[in-house]
Amino acid sequence: MSRAIKIAPSILAADFSKLGEEVAAIDRAGADYVHLDIMDGHFVPNISFGPSVIKSLRPHTDKIFDVHLMISPVDPFIDAFVEAGADIITFHPEAGAHGHRTAQAIRAAGCKVGLSINPGTPVEAVEPLFDDLDLVLVMTVNPGFGGQRFIESQLSKIETLRTWIDRSGRDIDLEVDGGINFDTAALAIGAGADVLVAGTATFDGGPEAYAANIEKLRAP
Ligand code: DX5
Ligand code: ZN
């Protein structure tokens, strides 16, 4: 059985001087989700952008806004991201002591819930929250920066999560983030992923190349 593969360009690799145009361009080029990387300089060693940027991008596309929070704490900011237009909010279990409460708060605010595991986090960290999730995000780089190298040792986590998800019979996205290119996309899909985040690989070559990049990532 071949499953449908969704592509989620990370706008971290876009031209920040014209983000609205960039988002409209990846929409036209066939992106499924828009992946929005939120970094606070505390949970990860980099700062990106916040809810006001997401809000300003919302009129430029109807695609799903896939918000990846690399921030700690999470809970005080959930409402701001929901109001800005998030559809899915993904957080890291290390961001706070009460991940289940965070998941409930995201759901209560009207968003889908994602949990992300770092390369150093065991796949078992997903288990306690599994029933409350719509998406599991396997990081294949250490979060904080685009353009890093794919860590192949994480593929076994994707395989494990694919069996858990299939066994559950639930419609849970299995997303992979970090170092996805045409070679590693094939590895991630082979391991069972069905949503690929791609920053560098999507935006390489400028707007004329986006559609071809996205199609090649979808069927590497
Ligand atoms: C890393 C971010 C990723 C990043 C991916 O912390 O979560 O989404 O933008 O960038 P590439 O695709 O360039 O590895
Ligand atoms: Zn991300």
Instruction: Please write the tens of the pLDDT for every residue from 85-131.
Output: 999 999 999 999 999 999 999 999 999 999 999 999 999 999 999 99
Ligand 1 touching residue 38 (CB < 6 A): no
User: What pTM did the predictor assign?
Assistant: 0.98
CB-facing half-sphere around the CA of 71: CA atoms within 13 A: 23
DSSP-assigned states of every residue in the chain: -PPPPEEEEBGGGS-GGGHHHHHHHHHHTT-SEEEEEEEBSSSSS-B---HHHHHHHGGG--SEEEEEEE-SS-GGGHHHHHHHT-SEEEE-GGG-S-HHHHHHHHHHTT-EEEEEE-TTS-GGGGGGGGGG-SEEEEESS-TT-SSPPP-GGGHHHHHHHHHHHHHHT---EEEEESS--HHHHHHHHHHT--EEEESHHHHTT-GGGHHHHHHHHH--
Residue from 94, 121, 141 whose mutation best tests the ligand 1 pocket (most atoms within 8 A of CB): 141
**How far apart are the CA of 35 and the centre of ligand 2, in A?**
7
Smallest-distance ligand from the CA of 144: 1
Report the pLDDT value the prediction gives residue 183, as an integer from 0 to 100.
98
| Segment 158-174, tens digit of pLDDT | 999 999 999 999 999 99
Mean of the pLDDT values across residues 48-52?
Answer: 98
Ligand 1 touching residue 116 (CB < 6 A): no
> In this structure, what token pair is assigned to residue 58?
């919302």
Distance from C-alpha of 15 to C-alpha of 139, rounded to nearest angstrom: 23
Using a pLDDT cut of 90, give the percent of the chain over it: 99
CATH for 6-218, among 1.10.530.10, 3.40.50.1220, 3.30.1370.60, 3.20.20.70? 3.20.20.70
Ligand 1 touching residue 200 (CB < 6 A): yes
Name the band, by pLDDT with cuts 50, 70 and 90, for residue 2. confident
The per-residue pLDDT of the chain, averaged, comes to 98
Query: Would you say residue 202 has pLDDT above 70?
Result: yes
Q: Is the peptide bond before 119 cis (omega within 30 degrees of 0)?
A: no
* Burial 154-170, CB ≥16 within 10 A → b, else e: bbebbebbbebbeeeee
Report the pLDDT value the prediction gives residue 75, as an integer from 0 to 100.
98
> In this structure, what token pair is assigned to residue 95?
């961001």
Query: Would you say residue 1 has pLDDT above 80?
Result: no
Residue nearest to atom 10 of ligand 1 (CA): 146
CA 190 to chain centre: 18
Report the pLDDT value the prediction gives residue 51, as an integer from 0 to 100.
98
Using a pLDDT cut of 70, give the percent of the chain over it: 100
Q: Tokens 């390489």 appear where?
A: 204
Query: Would you say residue 144 has pLDDT above 90?
Result: yes
Closest CA relative to residue 152, chosen from 180, 117, 122, 116: 180
What backbone phi and psi angles, to 5 degrees, belong to 47? -120, 135
| Segment 177-200, tens digit of pLDDT | 999 999 999 999 999 999 999 999
Mean of the pLDDT values across residues 10-20?
Answer: 98
